[in-house]
Amino acid sequence: RPQWEEERHPEGIKWKFLEHKGPVFAPPYEPLPENVKFYYDGKVMKLSPKAEEVATFFAKMLDHEYTTKDIFRKNFFKDWRKEMTSEEKSTITNLSKCDFTQMSQYFKAQTEARKQMSKEEKQKIKEENERLVKEYGFCVMDNHKERIANFKIEPPGLFRGRGNHPKMGMLKRRIMPEDIIINCSKDSKVPPPPPGHKWKEVRHDNKVTWLVSWTENIQGSIKYIMLNPSSRIKGEKDWQKYETARRLKKCVDKIRNQYREDWKSKEMKVRQRAVALYFIDKLALRAGNEKEEGETADTVGCCSLRVEHINLHPELDGQEYMVEFDFLGKDSIRYYNKVPVEKRVFKNLQLFMENKQPEDDLFDRLNTSILNKHLQDLMEGLTAKVFRTYNASITLQQQLKELTTPDDNIPAKILSYNRANRAVAILCNHQRAPPKTFEKSMMNLQTKIDAKKDQLADARRELKSAKADAKVRRDEKSKKTVESKKKAVQRIEEQLMKLEVQATDREENKQIALSTSKLNYLDPRISVAWCKKWGIPIEKIYNKTQREKFAWAIDMAEEDYEF
């Protein structure tokens, strides 16, 4: 019986037995060779080991734009000084007088040397990594040996952050055993701390799934070592997510009828809630503004929409009751869309906007928690994300049915699959900037196509003359020649078709990120079933990491699976 179908633990309990080897720490600092000098104000200065280590973090980034940024330099210098001896502190007072050039050159030479390594040296490193994975990369959870996702602790360095993060340049401390909380079961072999050290704590909490945790010093957030996505516990969570979306399928009509009724409610709060819900359902908007750590951009979700983010047009592009949306969503991706809405929704929006300033909340009686609470009342486990998952999955299933032509060959079927996937990505607003290499890779592909066309023309000419030849001679040998020339033409035609399909696919994919919806919103069983039904190798749809993540679905879905 597949592991994800096993009997589950009581509510909230994640495991009964958990044993692992603890984390792998970053290798200790290796002091620079004597001949690599650091200069301050033009004079050689020997740094203490601690100060030198932090200086090397800066030296390694010297060519990067970061080290020219004021905030980065200021934060770095402040943290660096904390690691200095009092003597160093009194000497080194101005970062601009520090010369890291020799250090930087030393590290560049090292990187170069690594690239030039012999096969044997590379093999040795590979073997050492494999040894680490074997020893630390697995744990035992209940009756299963499971892969651990990230058992190595990140080495110390300088914090970068996204955009203009105010903390960039700060020192990301080295994590020590004394920072580490180990989580494992009471009856397991507790991993021993490195010699001479102690763990911060060993606990036995089977309501959580992490094995190791610590608090990082920049944002104060808790970091965890967890299982690989391919593990039973992650697979089960993924499976549950799609089962929730399938439950929504059963009651979505009722929910829709309910919010339609609520558009007429006497209570303003209920009307606002009903319109917001309509947006979430129809446009797959997010509920609130879920921001990334440190993200400072002004991004919004459905509940936090402001008056300035929408424009109402009683008529536009020949359609009635149009709403024009323009705002920054998650990760600062612009959401721009013009959609016709029902008359009652339009009238309600006019009402919500009355006497308001552009910067006022559109839904002033609503916030994310109220909306989420309401969703819970409609269906257990319902969140805005479930609507997305439901709509994305059902759309993929419909599109696949529509676009797959039974007589197509495998490349053409895969093109259909990608088109179905793209329809979903557009629905979810998963756009991207065209990759930098796009034009170049398209040109390369076009060159290949042209060459293939020439090759095909040649092959056809050869076939023609072989046929003519065969008419004259009428012997077995020329018959065979014709057959083999025919086969060659067919083979080249197939190769050409494959290249052309690839070009179409790439062109259509230019501004769409397929992997977000593929990984997060599409029930993998739909894709697996489609592959099984049409005899498409699953590798054509999911790469290795994705196959691991969706192992549960690959195992479970039959060709007649219906979302």
Ligand X SMILES: *[C@@H]1O[C@H](CO)[C@@H](O)[C@H](O)[C@H]1NC(C)=O
List interacting residues with ligand X (CB under 6 A): 94, 96-97, 181, 205, 207-208, 213, 222, 282-283, 367, 369-370, 391, 394-395, 427, 515, 519, 543-546
Cβ atoms within 10 A of the Cβ of 374, count?
19
Among 389, 390, 427, 416, which residue's Cα sits nearest to residue 533?
Answer: 416
Q: Which residue is nearest to ligand X (CB)?
A: 515
Nearer residue to ligand X within complex by CB, 273 or 452: 273
Quickly list H helices, 310-435.
343-353, 368-378, 384-403, 410-427
* Closest distance of CB 368 from ligand X, Å: 6
Nearer residue to ligand X within complex by CB, 209 or 481: 209
* Closest distance of CB 223 from ligand X, Å: 9
Backbone angles phi, psi at 319, to 5 degrees: -120, 150
* Contact yes or no for 178/153 (Cβ under 8 A): no
* Closest distance of CB 340 from ligand X, Å: 11
* Closest distance of CB 546 from ligand X, Å: 5
Nearer residue to ligand X within complex by CB, 452 or 549: 549
Nearer residue to ligand X within complex by CB, 207 or 474: 207
The answer to whether residue 521 is catalytic is: yes
* Contact yes or no for 214/177 (Cβ under 8 A): no
Among 157, 161, 158, 139, which residue's Cα sits nearest to residue 149?
Answer: 139
* Contact yes or no for 14/207 (Cβ under 8 A): yes
d(Cα 274, Cα 98) in Å, to the nearest integer?
61
Nearer residue to ligand X within complex by CB, 9 or 480: 9
* Closest distance of CB 354 from ligand X, Å: 21
Q: Which of 417, 521, 542, 561 is catalytic?
A: 521
* Contact yes or no for 478/469 (Cβ under 8 A): yes
d(Cα 53, Cα 460) in Å, to the nearest integer?
68
Nearer residue to ligand X within complex by CB, 436 or 544: 544
Cα-based distances in Å from 5 to 1, 98, 467, 496, 546:
7, 61, 62, 45, 20
* Closest distance of CB 447 from ligand X, Å: 25
Dihedral of alpha carbons 26, 30, 32, 38, sign:
positive
Dihedral of alpha carbons 486, 487, 488, 493, sign:
positive
Catalytic residues, by residue number, are 521
